[in-house]
Chain A
Amino acid sequence: MIATLRREPAAAALAAVAALGLAVLIGYPLYSVLQEAVVGQAGFDPEPLTRVLTNPVQRQIVLNTLVMGSLTGLGATLLGFALALTTGRVVRGRSRTALHYIAMLPLIAPPFALALSTIFLFGRQGLVTKQLFGLEISPYGLGGLLFVQIITFSPVAYLIFDSLVRQLDPALEEAALNLGASRTRILRTVIVPLLRPGFAGAFLIIFVESLADLANPLLIGGDYNVLASSVFLAIIGEYDTRKAVGFAVVLLIPSLIAFFAQRIWVGEGNVVTVTGKPSSGRIQVFDPAMRIALLTVALVTAALVLALYGAVIAGAFTKLLGINNTLTLDNFRFVLQGIGTRAMTDTTLLSAMAAPIAGFSGLLVAYLVVRTRIPGRAVYDYVLMLGAAAPGIVLGLGILLAFNHPPLLLTGTAAVFVIAFTVRTAPVALRGCTAALMQIDPSLEQASANLGASAATTFRRVTLPLVRRAVLSGVIYSFTRNMTTLSTIALLVSPNWRIMTAQILNEIDSQRLGSGAAYSTILIAIVLVTIIILQRLFGRAAVEVAA
């Protein structure tokens, strides 16, 4: 440390700032959860944990959670794989581009939107099930939950496989073909083995995200209780903090195991970004039966995604979609004349405040890890990654517990939201910036130093311009995610600051599905418009750098 201080004084100062930030904003909240779980009024007392493991009702919740996470991981991984094969090897040109964007569309869905439209379309009074086919099916329970989650998380798998399929050298498939392998055999012996890291990675990431999902279990889970919703209900319904931390700690364990297993096995390289660029190159065409199978899956998925989005918008503009389809603006009037306008400005303001902080925190830690020789620099990476590894509801609970008493009494202020948003989204910026920094040949920075530039000048004139795109992606991702997250802030809401996703929850709770849909539509519109504006503003220059 002394040597580092002497050699790289600026880096040592940055490292100290980062260490303090990570300890207070991530370490302290998670520590608060653990402490609450094992320390009662009479000292050491792990009653919340033993209760989860012995009480049959609570044990069932744990089991439910693992079943949901595994099945969602499996389903979404396979769906993403099929979609990536379709865009990579079956369709081309415009239809490829269209399918590519549709496959990614669920990424920007606010948490309730897909569950809400599933109820509109496939619910007891569903437009498709009841009105079209006269069926009476309940979407509530594990089935509906899996349906919504698989669609919600399939883009994660799609993006991973899409980038892997692009990296696949078509020459390998041609070689296999040339050696006499059938198309099916090529899929089995060449494509799938080469994509194997993608399967493990996608499954584990989706498992973690599925466990962390709060909105869908609340809305469509019915009696199928899972840990995330149980944490929420324990606080909001029963005001039982110790019960909540019991669930939270048990939820934290499989999430962390799966998350870090994924990082160790799969490593760097699969960075989810919001922008995609179309690929060129030769296409190996599968045999007709396989093409038809893949196309069917892709078209059904695309139709479902579009129908679900359409239903949200239709639901926003009708009295009650499926029952009374009269067109109306009442839902928007209700939202905008109520606290909807406040919620829009508050949410946008807080999200926009946190997004650049998240982007640059990610860059700071990435720089420390990749470019300096600070002792223990890998620890910074792992601690910041906890922000993504820990389920949002656990993080939110931690922030609630940590900052509701002196010395850091922040409850009800904007700061808790900015902290929650930053901690939750900085890891993605970190991954993007780490990948970008590792791609920069160190000789570029050495050349700058060699030509007389100081470390600060080198950073400003060489490093920053080259990672600008990664930082920008991180900022856009953070903003989008902040706008649409529920689980992280569900426990932090107060009358001082109105958050749109929490308002949607209220509306649906009060059976006002129409205004819930109106809120969701507004939210989707804000996110889309912001992404387009940001890309117009920075996109061109950022793209030039990448070229």
Chain B
Amino acid sequence: MSFLRLRGLQKRFPNGTVAVDDLDLDVAEGELIALLGPSGCGKTTTLRCIAGFEDPTAGTIELGGRRIDTVPPNRRGATMVFQGYALFPHLSVFENVAYGLRVRRVRGETLRTRVEAALGLVGLTGLSERRPQQLSGGQQQRVALARALILEPKLLLFDEPLSNLDAKLREQMRLEIRNLQQRVGITSVYVTHDQAEAMTLADRIAVMDAGRIAQLGTPRQIYDEPAGRFVAEFVGHANFMTTTVRAVGAERLTVDVLGATRTISRAAGLYAPGDAVDVMVRPEEVHIRRGEGIPATVVRTSFVGSNALYQLECAGEHLLATVGMERGVPLHADGAAVSVVVRDEALRAFARPAGSPGTA
């Protein structure tokens, strides 16, 4: 039973750009869904259509069984946390948070209690008389959150809310937002281009590309079983190799890759023996051994603290390998001869898009 339902959503701008292209999405009650994608993929436009700041050119939006795409933006019951926070510079923190309640004619003691409670919820007790400009970025972020939460909306919308914060604070706020959302249990749509943010926060992630959803799934599904090369490349790092299909099974393919004939998982698509396919392996699944394995040469070693990155030459392919580091473990030197082990389970094949070189 979906709580937020987008059907055939399309947004074509007057200049002809199609930002959102026939998009369907279902969000369950209490779920936090992240719209993840590069800039220009249509994620923000989708969010703004839900909020009512853009009029979709086609399609419908339902919230709690009621169509809202024809409802004016100020009566949708879907409050938003804006990218730049959009705090009113002429109002105090208290008045910023109270704004929506005052619009709803909440007055006096009730108003004060609820504003204080909302500020308490985000850990800003005692700062209510400050102006937004007098707060740090993280505190402004919390005000924006309190201002949206206080209305107990049916739906909470986040438009890249953490993009103005520095890396450390961003990680902390991610967890706080997740905890708060779980505690309050508000259905949420969260737009971001930061995959780590989407992974940490979301129940499910919709990876978007060119106005469409390229894949919808849990963070684990998105990472382990990407539906296509775009998703595999956008979420996490990936090595790609090109090879030819030998045999096609129900959910698996047999291919020659990394010096062996292997039967590996595959993404949806049409496959036939003799077709060229892309095979992916994540860098952390490329294991370096000193004993038996596929012979490889270290081209360059980089040490990044918790990991070491190795660029390898292996069976005619360039491979990137990530190895977790511990104190005292020596690095392989540039030019060292090593062995590489990759499990068949770590490989995944993708059909090449029609028209690309090597397609039958």
Kindly identify, within residues 56 to 98 of chain B, every residue whose CB is under 8 Å from any CB belonging to chain A.
Answer: 72-76, 78-80, 82-84, 86, 88-90
Tell me the count of chain B residues lying within 8 A, CB to CB, of chain A: 26
A466 at the interface (CB under 8 A from B): yes
Q: Does A299 contact B (CB under 8 A)?
A: no
Interchain CB contact under 8 A, A443 and B73: no
Residue of B53, B89, B99, B148 touching A446 (CB-CB under 8 A) = B53
A interface: dominant SS = helix
Residue of B nearest to A547 (CB): B133
- B contact residues around A458 at 8 Å (CB): 74
Q: Does A450 lie within 8 Å of B74, measured CB to CB?
A: yes
Give the interface residue-count category, chain A: 20 to 34
* B100 at interface, CB cutoff 8 A: yes
Chain A positions 527-547 with a Cβ under 8 Å from a chain B Cβ: 544-545, 547
**19 pairs of residues in contact across A and B, judged by CB atoms under 8 Å:** A441-B86, A446-B51, A446-B73, A446-B86, A447-B86, A447-B147, A449-B53, A449-B74, A450-B76, A451-B103, A451-B147, A452-B75, A452-B151, A453-B100, A453-B103, A454-B74, A462-B88, A465-B90, A466-B89
Interface string of A492-521 (1 = CB under 8 A from B): 000000000000000000000000000000
Known: A448-B88, A451-B74, A451-B148. 9 other contacts (CB 8 A): A446-B82, A449-B73, A450-B73, A451-B99, A451-B151, A452-B100, A452-B104, A452-B151, A453-B103
Contact with B along A422-462 (1 / 0, CB 8 A): 00000000000000000001011011111111110110011
A448 touches B51 (CB 8 A): no
The reply to whether A451 and B84 contact each other, CB–CB distance below 8 Å, is no
Q: Bound state CA distance, A462 and B52, in angstroms?
A: 19
CA distance A127 to B82 in the complex (A): 67
Cβ–Cβ contact A450 & B51, under 8 A: yes
A441/B84 in contact, CB under 8 A? yes
Q: Which residues of B are found within 8 Å of A461, using beta-carbon distances? A: 99
Residues of A that sit less than 8 Å from B by CB: 441, 443-444, 446-455, 457-458, 461-462, 465-466, 544-545, 547
Please indicate the chain B residues that have their CB under 8 angstroms from the CB of A457 in the complex.
Answer: 103
Inter-subunit contact B74/A444 (CB<8 Å): no
Find chain B residues with CB under 8 A from A454 CB. 74
Chain A residues near B53 (CB, 8 Å)? Answer: 446, 449
8 tightest Cβ-Cβ pairs between the two chains A and B: A451-B100, A443-B86, A447-B86, A449-B74, A449-B73, A452-B103, A465-B90, A453-B103
Min CB distance A27 to B, Å, is 30
Chain A residues, Cβ within 8 Å of B82: 443, 446-447
Which of B72, B83, B86, B148 touches A444 (beta carbons < 8 Å)? Answer: B86
The reply to whether A447 and B80 contact each other, CB–CB distance below 8 Å, is yes
Report Cα–Cα, A547/B72, bound state, in Å. Answer: 33
Q: Count chain A CB atoms within 10 A of each CB in B72, B75, B99 and give the residue with the most.
A: B99
Cβ-defined contact, B86 with A452, below 8 A = no
Q: Who on chain A is nearest to B150 by CB?
A: A451
Closest beta carbon of chain A to B129's beta carbon, Å: 14
User: CB-CB < 8 A to B78: which residues of A?
Assistant: 450
Report the bound CA distance from A462 to B90 in whole Å. Answer: 8
